[in-house]
């Protein structure tokens, strides 16, 4: 299946992103701003109406997201009806501000890349809205939850539709805010709530802050990149910056600087090494949030940023290499952490991190990898959202427990969840013909393309990652649904549970998503459809020849995946799973503690930061305040001194005048000679 694309010439260095400017949009595309405006308005109504909107607020949220999904699909159809070369449309909105030569305009850019995201975000978003109606049914703040979800949809669409870095940045910050609000959604325990509840509430708030702060660190990168763009080309519009980057309007040094800044931004948003520590904690939010924001859409924004800025990275090979390295490190790191976690959602979070590592790896390979990175992003968005929603369904059945050591044998109690999650599991494993196979396999192949030792190193890492993925995802699947039931219907420390299948509002999205997980990858690979579709943005990628035959790579990947499944089977189905955590070797212990990333961050960033703050505080108190206060005291003392001379004696005043006149005379004379 991949042979057709691989047989093409290997002029991979000649391939470039396409950075042409946009044609004015007509028809439904001209209404693209409604995609953003409707969910934003719905969020505003839900937040302003307050408790009055409680009975119907969630349905308004669902409607708003359904509207965006519908309009997104209409625009997609319109774009598909155009010839490939004309599939870049622009919707100018308004002039935001100007200063001197700088003129910042806001507008939307509809092209295959942004439309891919629009469809992913709105379709997955709609299904998750629907699911949340049931999942959050017992929450007193369901309306507020839907307001935030709608706000997120609006912000995410701004991010992907914006036609300049500044418009992207507005959405970038918007999704960051939505993520913060939703991670800390359950931080409202009353003062008289039970001790444990208040503790969780505090933990949730801390997780939200952690995500917010680590994202801000990344945002500095985006800001720096924008400032560099303004300094170099006087604009942040994609239509100006990207052609300038491609045609040598920006020097290689500046391109490298911009590339590294953008990579920093992408690392923050996409939880890539070394800014990955927040994603695991972000699981404190409600599960639909994890599915929508922290798996399917927002965290992939970093990959979008890198692919969108392709022209910059093509002019900065060092920055491009850094993207690949970051992707490779995160892919292994996430996989290793995923292997050791017992918290179901944290395994999925580590898996997300690892899969985005694959996408970053693809995006860093240049034009040959862009389409595959976005393809994997799309298929991953669907099957990871599905896996998270499945996990949510399990939590719903198990009184919000997430400890997989207490699950087991749930396949009999929750048939639909079992089957749909099974499809998601096979999809992420990359078993043909499930969708993950079509996208991940391509990235692994692309990693094997190149000269020297590089393809061997990258390819091997990508290959091993696939095996690790198979192991930890099978471990998750088997520990939840197979083996001896380890939960209890009687009173127990972990609580009694009565597993049951969720209602149709929750199972319906699961079923719809599993259809996508099953067929999306294969359907979009027919005739190389997806890669061709992205060509107006990513350029015509001439696929180079891998250092190993493509079939060999595919077979090796599948072999490793099967080894992973069998290992997980023997460890977690053939053998009993202990319900308490066992002592393990150093590596497992490290992985259980997220490879000590919090400790490292604390030592590398937090302690020096606190020292800096302490020093700054001291210098403020003693040096700056001291100088200012000293000046004030000096002035007051001088005032007291001169007050003494105000004796009221006419003759002394006359004396001062005389003295002054003499001084003035001396000054005049001195000036003359």
Choice between 491 and 672, CB closer to other proteins: 672
Pairing of strands 89-99, 23-24: parallel
Closest CA to 445 of 428, 427, 462: 462
Residues 641-670 that bind other proteins (CB under 8 A): 643, 646-651, 654-655, 658
Nearer to other proteins, 527 or 639 (CB): 639
Q: How far is the CB of 659 from other proteins (least distance, A)?
A: 10
| DSSP code string of 544-607 | PPBSS-HHHHHHHHHHHHHHHHHHHHIIIIISPPPSSPPP--HHHHHHHTGGGHHHHHIIIIIH
Q: Pick out residues in 141-160 that bind other proteins (CB under 8 A).
A: none
Least separation in angstroms between residue 649's CB and other proteins is 6
Q: CA 597, CA 601: separation in Å to the nearest integer?
A: 6
3-class SS of residue 162: strand
Rounded to a whole number, what is the distance in angstroms from the first to the last CA of the chain? 98
Q: Is 297 helix (H, G, I), strand (E, B) or coil?
A: coil
Q: Count the alpha carbons within 13 Å of 463 in the hemisphere toward its beta carbon.
A: 21
Stretch of residues binding other proteins (CB under 8 A), selected from 151-159, 287-295, 338-346, 639-647 = 639-647
Q: Phi first, then psi: what are they for 596, rounded to 5°?
A: 55, 30
Distances (CA, A) of 470 to 300, 335, 384, 418, 430: 21, 9, 14, 17, 8
Nearer to other proteins, 626 or 655 (CB): 655
Q: How many residues does the chain have?
A: 673
- By CB under 8 A, which span of 78-86, 194-202, 321-329, 640-648 interacts with other proteins? 640-648
Q: Rounded to the nearest whole angstrom, what is the least distance from the CB of residue 632 to other proteins in the complex?
A: 21
Cβ nearer to other proteins, comparing 624 with 662 = 662
DSSP string of 103-125? EEEEEEEE-HHHHHHHHHHHHHH
CB 406 within 8 A of CB 579: yes
CB 252 within 8 A of CB 315: yes
For residues 583 and 672, which CB has a smaller minimum distance to other proteins in the complex?
672
Which x/- pattern over 446-485 shows residues binding other proteins (rule: CB under 8 A)? ----------------------------------------
Residue 11 or 659 having the CB closest to other proteins:
659
- Closest separation in Å from C-beta 607 to other proteins: 57
Least CB distance to other proteins at residue 636 (A): 16
Shortest approach of other proteins to residue 631 CB, angstroms?
Answer: 24
Q: Using CA atoms, how far apart are residues 136 and 65, in angstroms rounded to an integer?
A: 17
Cα dist from 110 to 93, 123, 243, 425, 632, whole Å: 13, 17, 18, 33, 61
Nearer to other proteins, 98 or 659 (CB): 659
Q: Which is nearer to other proteins, 586 or 643 (CB)?
A: 643
Looking at beta carbons only, is 97 or 649 nearer to other proteins? 649
Q: How far is the CB of 665 from other proteins (least distance, A)?
A: 12
Please state, in angstroms and as integers, the Cα–Cα distance from residue 314 to each residue in 15, 246, 300, 303, 538, following that order: 9, 8, 20, 15, 12
Question: Which C-beta is closer to other proteins: that of 484 or that of 640?
Answer: 640
CB 131 within 8 A of CB 392: yes
Nearer to other proteins, 612 or 662 (CB): 662
Q: Describe the chain by its helix, strand, coil percentages, rounded to 5.
A: 75, 5, 20
The least distance separating other proteins from the CB of residue 670, rounded to whole angstroms, comes to: 20
CB of 664 to other proteins, least distance (A): 15
> In the complex, what is the shortest distance from the CB of residue 640 to other proteins, in angstroms, rounded to a whole number?
11
Site for other proteins in 199-258 (CB under 8 A): none
- Report the nearest approach of other proteins to the CB of residue 635 (Å): 18
- The nearest distance, CB 644 to other proteins, in angstroms, is 9
Residue 598 CB burial class (10 angstroms; 0-12, 13-18, ≥19): middle
490: contact with other proteins by CB under 8 A: no
608 vs 659, which CB is nearer to other proteins?
A: 659
Query: What is the footprint of other proteins within residues 78-137 (CB under 8 A)?
Result: none
Task: Tell me whether residue 452 or residue 648 sits nearer to other proteins (CB atom).
Answer: 648
Quote the least distance from Cβ 651 to other proteins, whole Å.
6
Question: Residue 390: how many CB atoms within 10 A of its CB?
Answer: 34
Question: Taking the complex as a whole, how short is the minimal distance between the CB of residue 650 and other proteins, in angstroms?
Answer: 5
Conformation bin of residue 305: beta by default, left when phi > 0, alpha when psi is -120 to 50: alpha
Q: How far is CA 623 from CA 15, 279, 629, in A?
A: 57, 41, 10
**Cα four-point dihedral sign 209, 212, 215, 217:** negative
Report the residue number, 399 or 652, with the smaller CB distance to other proteins: 652
Binding stretches for other proteins (CB under 8 A)? 643, 646-651, 654-655, 658
């Amino acid at each position: 299946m991949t042979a057709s694309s691989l047989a093409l010439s290997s002029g991979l260095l000649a391939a470039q992103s396409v950075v042409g400017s946009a044609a004015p949009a007509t028809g439904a595309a001209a209404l693209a701003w409604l995609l953003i405006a409707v969910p934003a308005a719905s969020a505003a109504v839900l937040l302003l109406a307050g408790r009055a909107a409680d009975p119907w607020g969630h349905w308004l949220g669902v409607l708003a997201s359904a509207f965006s999904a519908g309009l997104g699909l209409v625009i997609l159809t319109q774009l598909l009806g155009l010839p490939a070369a004309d599939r870049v449309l622009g919707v100018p909105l308004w002039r935001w501000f100007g200063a001197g030569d700088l003129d910042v305009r806001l507008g939307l850019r509809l092209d295959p890349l942004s439309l891919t995201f629009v469809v992913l975000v709105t379709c997955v978003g709609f299904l998750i809205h629907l699911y949340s109606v049931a999942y959050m049914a017992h929450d007193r703040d369901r309306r507020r939850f839907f307001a935030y979800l709608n706000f997120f949809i609006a912000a995410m669409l701004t991010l992907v539709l914006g036609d300049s870095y500044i418009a992207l940045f507005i959405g970038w910050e918007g999704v960051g805010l939505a993520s913060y609000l939703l991670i800390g959604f359950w931080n409202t325990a009353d003062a008289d709530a039970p001790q444990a509840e208040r503790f969780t509430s505090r933990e949730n708030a801390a997780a939200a802050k952690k995500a917010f702060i680590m994202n801000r660190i990344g945002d500095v990168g985006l800001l720096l990149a924008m400032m560099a763009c303004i300094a170099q080309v006087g604009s942040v519009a994609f239509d100006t910056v990207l052609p300038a980057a491609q045609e040598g309007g920006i020097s290689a040094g500046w391109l490298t600087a911009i590339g590294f800044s953008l990579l920093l931004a992408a690392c923050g948003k996409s939880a890539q090494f070394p800014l990955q520590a927040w994603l695991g904690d972000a699981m404190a939010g409600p599960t639909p949030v994890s599915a929508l924001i922290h798996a399917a859409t927002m965290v992939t924004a970093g990959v979008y940023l890198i692919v969108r800025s392709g022209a910059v990275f093509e002019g900065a090979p060092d920055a491009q290499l850094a993207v690949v390295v970051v992707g490779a490190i995160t892919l292994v790191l996430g996989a290793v952490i995923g292997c050791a976690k017992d918290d179901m959602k944290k395994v999925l979070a580590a898996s997300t991190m690892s899969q985005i590592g694959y996408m970053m790896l693809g995006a860093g390979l240049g034009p040959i990898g862009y389409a595959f990175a976005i393809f994997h992003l799309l298929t991953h968005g669907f099957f990871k959202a599905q896996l998270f929603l499945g996990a949510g369904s399990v939590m719903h059945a198990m009184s919000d427990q997430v400890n997989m050591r207490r699950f087991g044998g749930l396949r009999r109690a929750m048939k639909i969840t079992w089957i749909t999650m099974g499809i998601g599991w096979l999809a992420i494993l990359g078993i043909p013909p499930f969708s993950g196979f079509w996208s991940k396999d391509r990235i692994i192949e692309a990693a094997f393309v190149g000269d020297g030792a590089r393809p061997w190193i990258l390819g091997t890492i990508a290959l091993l990652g696939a095996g690790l993925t198979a192991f930890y995802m099978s471990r998750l699947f088997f520990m939840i649904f197979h083996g001896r039931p380890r939960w209890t219907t009687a009173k127990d420390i972990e609580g009694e549970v009565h597993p049951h299948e969720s209602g149709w509002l929750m199972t319906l999205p699961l079923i719809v998503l599993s259809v996508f997980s099953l067929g999306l990858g294969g359907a979009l690979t027919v005739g190389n459809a997806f890669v061709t579709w992205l060509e107006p943005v990513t350029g015509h990628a001439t696929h180079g020849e891998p250092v190993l035959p493509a079939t060999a790579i595919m077979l090796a990947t599948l072999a490793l995946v099967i080894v992973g499944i069998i290992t997980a089977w023997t460890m977690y189905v053939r053998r009993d799973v202990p319900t308490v955590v066992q002592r393990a070797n150093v590596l497992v212990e490290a992985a259980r503690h997220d490879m000590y990333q919090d400790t490292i961050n604390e030592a590398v960033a937090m302690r020096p930061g606190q020292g800096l703050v302490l020093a700054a505080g001291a210098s403020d108190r003693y040096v700056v305040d001291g100088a200012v206060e000293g000046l004030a005291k000096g002035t007051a003392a001088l005032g007291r001194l001169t007050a003494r001379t105000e004796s009221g004696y006419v003759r002394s005043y006359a004396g001062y005048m005389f003295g002054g006149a003499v001084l003035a005379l001396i000054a005049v004379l001195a000036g003359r000679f």
